[in-house]
Amino acid sequence: MVCLVSRTGRLLQRYDSLGRRQVVGCIPYRFKSNSDGTPSKDLEVLVISSQKCQKMMFPKGGWELDESREEAALRESIEEAGVIGKVELELGKWDFLSKRHGTFYEGYMFPLLVKEELAFWPEQNLRKRTWMNVKEARDVCQHWWMKEALDILVERLASPQQRKEQDITSCL
Q: CA 57 to CA 67: how far, in whole Å?
A: 23
Number of residues in the chain: 172
Q: CA 76 to CA 59: how far, in whole Å?
A: 6
CATH topology of domain 21-171: Nucleoside Triphosphate Pyrophosphohydrolase (3.90.79)
- Least confident interval from 102-106, 137-141, 143-147: 102-106
> Parallel, antiparallel, or unpaired for β 83-87 and 129-132?
unpaired
Q: What is the pLDDT of residue 69?
A: 97
Domain residue limits, the chain: 21-171
pLDDT band of 60, cuts 50, 70, 90:
very high
With vertex at residue 14, the alpha carbon angle to CA 9 and CA 17, rounded to the nearest 5 degrees, is 140
pLDDT band of 168, cuts 50, 70, 90:
very low
Q: What is the pLDDT of residue 8?
A: 59
Average pLDDT value for residue range 121-128: 95
Average pLDDT value for residue range 45-68: 94
